[in-house]
A and B are shown apart, each in its own frame.
Chain A
Amino acid sequence: MRKRTKAWALLAAICTASMLGGCTYESGTKAFTTTNFDTKPEQTTTAQTESAAEWLKTALEKGKTEKDAQAFWYKGYVINRILSRSTTSMFDGAVLTDKGYNVGTRIAAQPYTYYRIGDKRYIRSNDYWVTAPDEPLEFDVLKGFEDWLPFMDRAVQLPDEKAIGVVSVPFQVKMTGAEWLAKSQSPLFEPLKKLVGDRPDLEYILKESTIKATFWFGKEDRLIHQYETWIILPLPEAGTMDQQVKFNLYKYGDTGGINIKEPEEVEKYLLY
Chain B
Amino acid sequence: MRRNPILSTISWALYAIALFLIYHLLVKPAFLDLSWIALLIFLPLLAFCYYVIHPSERRQVLVFTVGFLLLDRALTRVDVKTTAALLIGGAVAIIVIALLVKWYGRLSWRAVAPLVLIAVLANVTFNRYTLPALSHFTVQYESSRMYNGDWVDYFPMTLYDVDGDGKMEIVTYGNAEELPLPEKVEKPETEEEKKAMAEKLRHLQAEPVSLYVMSWKDGQIVRMKNDQIPAETMERIKENLPTDYPGFPYYTMKDDKLVPNVQRQPYSEAMMQAGTTAHRAFVLDLNNIANMLETNKGSMDVRHELGSKFKDLHITNGMLTGTYEGKPFGGSTKATKLLTTMNLPDGREGLIVIGEHLSVLAVEPDGTLTEAYQLTRKQAELATGEFIPADIDHDKVDELLVAGRPSYILKPKADGTWDILWASDEKDKSFRFSNFAAVGTDQTPEIVAKARSWISTTDARYLSGYDYTPEGLKENWRIYLPLINVQIGDIDGDKQNEIVASLENSHRILVFKQHNIPVFALTIALFAGLLVYGVVRRGRHA
Contacts and interface: CB of A to CB of B under 8 A. Distances in A.
Interface of A: 8, 11-12, 14-16, 18-20, 22-35, 37-38, 74, 76, 78, 80-87, 89, 91, 95, 101, 103, 105, 107-110, 112, 114, 116, 121, 123, 125-126, 128, 130-134, 136-148, 177, 180, 184, 186, 188-189, 191-192, 195-196, 199-202, 204-206, 208, 211, 213, 227, 229, 231-243, 245, 247, 249, 271-272
Given A24-B471, A27-B472, A238-B337, A37 B378 contact: yes
A126 to B, nearest CB: 6
A208 B263 CA distance: 30
Contacts of A83: 242-244, 383-384, 386
B299 A236 contact: yes
A249 to B, nearest CB: 7
A33 B384 contact: no
B306 interface: no
A91 B379 CA distance: 33
B355 A123 contact: no
A19 B267 contact: no
B274 A144 contact: yes
Interface of B: 26, 30, 34, 37, 41, 44-45, 48, 150-153, 188, 191, 194-195, 197-198, 201-202, 204, 242-251, 262-283, 285-287, 289-290, 292-293, 296, 298-301, 317-318, 334-337, 354-356, 376-384, 386, 403, 406, 408, 420-426, 428, 431, 451, 454, 466, 469, 471-476, 520-521, 524, 528
A126 B302 CA distance: 42
A185 to B, nearest CB: 11
Contacts, number: 323
A31 B425 CA distance: 11
A46 to B, nearest CB: 26
Contacts of A91: 268, 271-272
B383 A239 contact: yes
B76 to A, nearest CB: 24
A128 B282 contact: no
Nearest to A34: B378
Contact of A208 (B264, B268, B355, B474): B355
B272 A139 contact: yes
9 contacts: A23-B474, A83-B243, A114-B264, A114-B268, A201-B293, A227-B274, A232-B356, A241-B285, A243-B285
Q: Closest 7 interchain pairs by CB? A: A144-B275, A144-B276, A145-B275, A272-B198, A114-B268, A229-B278, A32-B379
A87 B247 contact: yes
A112 B270 CA distance: 15
A28 B281 contact: no
Contacts of B472: 24-27
A28 B521 contact: no
A121 to B, nearest CB: 7
A107 B262 contact: yes
A89 B354 contact: no
Given A138-B273, A140-B273, A271-B194, A238 B243 contact: yes
Contacts of A186: 276, 279
Given A26-B472, A241-B248, 14 more contacts: A18-B34, A25-B472, A25-B475, A28-B424, A29-B426, A30-B422, A86-B384, A105-B268, A107-B204, A109-B152, A177-B282, A206-B286, A236-B292, A238-B337
Given A35-B378, A147-B275, A84 B384 contact: yes
A239 B250 contact: no
A24 B300 contact: no
Nearest to A27: B422
A161 B269 CA distance: 30
